Each structure stands twice: as C-alpha cells, then as structure tokens.
Amino acid sequence: MTALVGHLINGEMRTDAARTQDVFNPATGEASRQVALAGKATVEEAIASAQAAFPAWRNTPPLKRARIMFRFKELLEQNSDEICRMIGEEHGKIMHDAAGELQRGIENVEYACGAPELLKGEHSKNVGPDIDSWSEFQPLGVVAGITPFNFPAMVPLWMYPMALVCGNCFVLKPSERDPSSVLFIAQLMQEAGLPDGVLNVVNGDKEAVDTLLTDERIKAVSFVGSTPIAEYIYSTASAHGKRCQALGGAKNHAIIMPDADMDNAVNQLLGAAFGSSGERCMALSVAVAVGDQAADALVEKMQAAMQSLKVGAFSDSSNDFGPVITCAHRDKVNGYISSAVEQGAMLVVDGRNPEVAGYSGGFFVGGTLIDHVTPEMISYKEEIFGPVLQIVRVNTMQEAMDLIDAHEYGNGTCIFTRDGEAARYFSDNIQVGMVGINVPLPVPVAYHSFGGWKRSLFGDLHAYGPDAVRFYTKRKTITQRWPSAGVREGAQFAFPS
C-alpha cells in the first residue's frame, strides 16, 4: 500500500483526506507515495489551532522561544542525512545539493536564535518633562507561508523560524510535489519543544491556498513561486486586508566583459546555470557577452566544459544535477529549447532526451547551451526553470545593462570583470535587487534579506534577515508620564511639542 503524507495540526499527524495526489520520484518517473490534499475545513482547523495557541505563545519570553530554535538547529544537523534523502527522492536534487540547501536553511534558524536582541525595540528617556517614549515590536497573530517545490527545506525555513520567534503562530502550505521533508522538519520543530498548535502544516492545492488568503484570522502571507501566482497571491491577500510578500520569477543575466577571467567565469556559470537542474529562482540562465571575441571564447570554453557534466539520480553524489520535477515540466523545458532553434538561435549543446543508465523513465534534461539568442525570442522572455544557458551577444556594457533593465524580472544579476570602475558602475545603476561581482549566485546570507525588484517581488519587504523582523511584527510606540505628586497642569489646547 502506498504511503500517505498528511498534515500536522495542533501537534498531531493527520492522514485523513477526501482527495489525494501522487508524489513522484522524478529520477524513476514512478509514484513513490501519495499526499493528502486539505480541503477548506482542514485548513480552517489548522488556523483555529494556531489562533488558540497564540495568546500563550506571544507571552512566552523571546529568550525561551530562542532556546527552542537552538534545539531545533541541533536536531536539523543531527537528521541532515535523512532530510537530504527525502529531498532527493521527491525533488531529484543530488545529495550534495540538498545538503547545501539545508545548510542555508539552518543559517536562517541561527539568525532567528537572536530573537532577544532583534526584538529589543527602542527607548528614549525624557522626550519631554518627565515623559519617556519607547517602541515595541509585537507579533501579528496567525500568519501563513506558501512555499515552492524547488527548495522544500530552505524556503520554509526562511519563513516560520523568524515568524515564531517574533511571537506569531504559523500555518505552512508547502508544495504538494515534495512534501515529506517539510513534514519531517516540522516534527523536529515539535521535538525541539514547540507547543502544540504554534506551527501547523497543511498539504493541499488551490483550495487550501485560497482558504489561507481569504480567512480573516490570517494576518500575513509569505509566498515564493512563479510570478503569475505571486501576483495572484499578493492581490488576493491584499484585497482581504493582509500583509503580503510574494516573491516571483526571474530571468537572471550575467554580463561577461572582455577583460573577464574566462576560465573562472565558465566554472562559475556551470554551477549557476545547471545546479539544481536550473530549478532555482536565482539560476543564471542568460550570459550577455560584450563583444564577439568574448562571446566566442565563452561558447568554446563552455562547450568543452559541458562535456563532463553528469546528470542522474540523487543517490550518486558524482552526478552534478538530477531530473526536473515532473514529466510535464521536462516537456516544457524541451519545448523552450526547440522554440529557440526554430526562432533562429544556434543550439551548441543539446540536452534534450539524455540517456541515463538505469533511469529510462526519469524526467531528465541535460545541460543545454544556446548561442545567438535575441530578446525577441520566447526562450529569452520567459523563465525556463531548467538546465539551459542562453548566450546573448552585445557590443557594449551599457547595451548589456539596458537589456537587463528592460526585462520584466529583476531578481538577480552579476558581472564578470577585472575592472573595478565597471563593477561599481554596474552595481550602482543596474535595476535588479541582488547583484554579484564575479559572484554568479548573489544569494544574501541569513543576516541580510532576500528579494528582487520589478515583477520578481510583490510587496515592500524582502524575505528573511532584518526585513523578516519587520514583516512579522507591528511596531507599537508608547509614551508615558508620571506627574509629580501635587503638581497639576491646566488644560492645554495647542498641539503638544
């Protein structure tokens, strides 16, 4: 009998479901288990559980909340191999890549351990005669997170550790495509000492999402996924009076300057374009080469380096990357490759339909390199989300920057150069939220914040780091005065100053 992945509600595992969906091992193409899809009533039960737990949790001292996070971090490290195995079986990510994802998630837990410092607020004595004023950061209440398939461990850990240490209760709706690691990690949170109901996990589809977006008990929603869905999440949540941050898609460009260390650039591009099968919102999918000489050198070296790329199952750590998430997505990625060729691009390395010994049913796409891509092509305009690197040729750095600025997405970008002046001009003026200088994946560390510009982010605050404290709290400013005994002032009708 196929195992059923359920929900975590009020500290209890629940496997009851009127509807289920297959969960696939993308390396074999076979259904490995099923996931329960929560209906409206189940999601409402999770919300009610969080709401009931909120009064006691918000009054738990931040230091005690932080101690739970310290224990949680230790449990994540102790169970890392099991977590990575679950990610590999359902996502397809190679074990070393899954370990890197988990480590970045753990770093966010480490940052959340600083809650007593992060929530101290501000204090000013004697802002007026015998008058003191201070601010406090108070929790919002019950908040929700809706997370994608491509980082089942890391992205939830962007959200609920900080939300919880700020005093909120949380309802998480992870991707139904790879739910097992998410639920296992949530159980570790319970094992660390989190009270029942403070963190709830409901697996589901659009019905579950819409319940979270419209229920008045949910005060804020965090989302990571594609731009069309991010826009829907943001507009619906905002229309129902909720605070919302919705991180969307990307089309990340790297400028390759003529003076770049080309061997270093190629090595960096290999991992940035093909790691995780390109299923990253920070994947580097377009290299903009300045001048034909730089472009020709880049293509020649990339073509040679790609001959040694290995695509295969998660369990073999000698593989560089694994399959994409579904059969339908594999076909979609292959369709983008075909469309680029049909529209006049040059296919240098064709990754369609690779042969992977022992895994003929898997959803594999090999590393693909396409040259002479232009901005009019469909494959350039849209996010491919696969192991495909496209080369666009331009004549000047400014032309390259104009190309990047004109794109609807503004998530991440980088430049490869030895010229400090060019690098500084690029970082100062490019209209993108996360910028790398000879760093192809400029993902901020846990004590900064993550987020793009333009249609890569809907909302004012970025994910994790300092912005997470602001997102998951509301500021209250208190002004108090204790008049001296026997001293009374008459009524004042002018605005106080």
Phi first, then psi, for residue 88 (nearest 5°) are -65, -40
Which residue is associated with the tokens 């009533």?
A: 41
Structure tokens belonging to residue 103: 């480590």
CA neighbor of 250 nearest in space, from 267, 273, 268, 271: 273
Instruction: Give the list of residues 6+ apart from residue 360 with CB closer than 8 angstroms, or none.
Output: none
Catalytic position from the list 166, 281, 327, 414: 281
CA-CA distance, 182 to 76, in Å (whole number)? 12
CB atoms within 10 A of CB 424: 11
CA-CA distance, 433 to 442, in Å (whole number)? 10
Instruction: Give the list of residues 6+ apart from residue 342 with CB closer than 8 angstroms, or none.
Output: none
Evaluate whether 475 touches 137 at the Cβ level (below 8 Å).
yes
Task: Report in angstroms the alpha-carbon separations of 400 from 286, 374, 382, 384, 493.
Answer: 11, 12, 18, 20, 61
Instruction: Give the list of residues 6+ apart from residue 9 with CB closer than 8 angstroms, or none.
Output: 42, 45, 46, 49, 200, 201, 202
Structure tokens belonging to residue 268: 């960096």
Phi first, then psi, for residue 321 (nearest 5°) are -155, 165
Structure tokens belonging to residue 339: 């469309």
Q: How far apart are the first and last CA of the chain?
A: 73
Tell me whether residue 281 is one of the annotated catalytic residues. yes
Q: Which residues are catalytic?
A: 281
